[in-house]
């Protein structure tokens, strides 16, 4: 196969930086080379040290190259309800989201929007996504089909919801199980695809459907589980009213065996000490969604408290409650959420979080999230001078930290020079 040698400044993290001075946590090469063959990284070193005489050379200097961004929670059918005004979460779901998602019963619409969705991710530097589809199997089929065509790493699943939603958006406990089971058999482990068992949240799944999700989880322990937890006070109250025997919201999922190491729990804002302990014991992964939490007024995610309890937190855009596809903008808003709580998000930790950190949360750090030899060749090239305002700031930059923080606070899709998925350029110019 043809080899490609990418020349750029290279940055890749080996572990989570512990302090702002923890420069041993990453590798930075000023004039680096990344050798790619067959969608895999074959060498990561100083450019002058790589011997590949027949490789095609792509020179991205002076830009910065790092692993592609990983988005651990977003909604495929919500692309066209971003920026929809509503009072709070449940109003937003009922007024905009649920009506929009009913449209995804149309396979033609799903196919068209799947291409747009993955194009949008690539434009913003995202190379791996964990996405909710709609309740319709056609939406999952379309998204997996498009991701397979691009050889993209994608985790998704059919939303299971059998109550408290419009008729066009409901399945049943049995059909939810049957459709999910068939989709797992068809797609899970195919190419770079993975299936996520996806009960939307306790409000829209009856006890019978939660039992069906539990059966799927037991039958497919290697599938991720994704759902929502403790995003909003009204959501928490209604969930506990619907499941009066549960000790709290978290206990609803625990009773149905849905808390485990590969369970991704969107939001996880308003948690009691008991709930935090239960999540830590199960090894479940809370997912911080800052732009969504701020937009819907849901609350402030307490990253430090959860980490202190031993939890591994992911971070995500949460399109379309979230307001940007950009993981850079997600970091910018995350910085502000944490700053309000006296928690400083240093740029080293920030960029570890959206690369290797999210890979660790997914249990995929041996495949994605770094530039390590033998891992999948997903990476992004960034320009910290992309806008006049960024260039003005960078004229006074003194270090790599300044450059990263400029990208973190001021960056968006304009800072993404190119996105590579399995070694192939995917951002449309």
Contacts of 26 (CB under 8 A, 6+ apart): 11, 12, 13, 14, 17, 348, 352
Smallest CA-to-CA distance from 290 within 334, 236, 228 is with 334
> Which of 427, 372, 380 shows the shortest CA–CA distance to 35?
372
Structure tokens at 266: 């969107």
Q: What is the pLDDT of residues 71-98, one digit of tens each?
A: 999 999 999 999 888 778 788 888 899 9
Q: Which of 427, 420, 299 is nearest to 368 (CA)?
A: 420
User: What separation in angstroms does the CA of 398 have from each of 378, 401, 403?
Assistant: 29, 8, 8
The pLDDT-based confidence of 23 (bands split at 50, 70, 90) is very high
Q: What is the mean pLDDT of residues 263-277?
A: 98
Asked if residue 1 has pLDDT above 70, the reply is: no
Dihedral in degrees, nearest 10, Cα atoms 52, 55, 58, 60: -20
Distance CA 57, CA 121 (A): 25
Q: What is the pLDDT of residue 288?
A: 98
Burial class (CB in 10 A: 0-12, 13-18, 19+), 184: buried
Tell me the pTM: 0.98
| Average of per-residue pLDDT across 190-197 | 98
- Give CA 420 to chain center in angstroms: 17
Burial of 120 (C-beta count, 10 Å sphere; 0-12/13-18/19+): middle
Write out pLDDT tens, residues 60-78: 999 999 999 999 999 999 9
Q: According to the model, what pLDDT value does residue 429 have?
A: 62
Average pLDDT of the segment spanning 182-192: 98
Average pLDDT over the chain, rounded to an integer: 97
Q: State which H helix or E strand residue 238 sits in.
A: helix 233-242
pLDDT tens digits along 285-297: 999 999 999 999 9
């Amino acid at each position: 196969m043809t080899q490609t040698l990418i020349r750029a400044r290279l940055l890749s993290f080996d572990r989570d930086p512990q302090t702002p001075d923890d420069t041993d946590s990453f590798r930075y090469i000023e004039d680096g080379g990344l050798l790619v063959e067959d969608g895999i990284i074959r060498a990561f070193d100083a450019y002058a040290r790589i011997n590949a005489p027949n490789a095609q050379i792509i020179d991205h200097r002076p830009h910065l190259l790092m692993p592609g961004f990983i988005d651990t929670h977003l909604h495929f059918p919500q692309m066209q309800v971003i920026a929809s005004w509503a009072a709070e979460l449940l109003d937003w779901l009922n007024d905009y989201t649920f009506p929009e998602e009913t449209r995804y019963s149309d396979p033609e619409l799903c196919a068209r929007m799947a291409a747009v969705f993955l194009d949008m991710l690539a434009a913003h530097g995202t190379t791996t996504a964990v996405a909710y589809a709609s309740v319709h199997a056609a939406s999952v089929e379309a998204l997996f089909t498009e991701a397979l065509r691009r050889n993209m790493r994608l985790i998704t699943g059919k939303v299971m919801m059998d109550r408290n939603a419009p008729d066009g958006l409901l399945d049943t406990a049995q059909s939810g199980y049957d459709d999910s089971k068939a989709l797992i058999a068809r797609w899970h482990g195919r190419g770079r695809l993975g299936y996520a068992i996806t009960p939307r949240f306790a409000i829209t799944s009856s006890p019978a459907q939660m039992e069906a999700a539990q059966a799927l989880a037991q039958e497919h322990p290697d599938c991720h589980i994704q759902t929502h937890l403790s995003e909003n006070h009204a959501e928490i109250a209604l969930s506990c009213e619907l499941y009066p025997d549960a000790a709290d919201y978290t206990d609803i999922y625990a009773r149905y065996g849905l808390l485990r190491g590969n369970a991704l729990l969107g939001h996880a804002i308003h948690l009691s000490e008991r709930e935090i302990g239960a999540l830590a014991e199960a090894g479940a992964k809370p997912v911080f969604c800052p732009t969504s939490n701020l937009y819907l007024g849901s609350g402030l995610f307490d990253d430090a408290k959860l980490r202190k309890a031993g939890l591994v937190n992911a971070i995500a855009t949460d399109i379309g409650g979230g307001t940007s596809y950009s993981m850079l903008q997600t970091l910018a808003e995350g910085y502000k959420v944490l700053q309000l709580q006296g928690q400083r998000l240093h740029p080293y930790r920030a960029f570890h979080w959206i690369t290797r950190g999210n890979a660790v949360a997914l249990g995929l750090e041996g495949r994605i999230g770094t530039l390590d030899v033998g891992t999948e060749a997903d990476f992004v090239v960034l320009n910290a001078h992309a806008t006049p305002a960024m260039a003005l700031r960078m004229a006074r930059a003194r270090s790599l930290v300044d450059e990263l923080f400029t990208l973190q606070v001021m960056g968006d899709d304009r800072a993404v020079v190119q996105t590579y998925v399995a070694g192939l350029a995917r951002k449309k110019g």
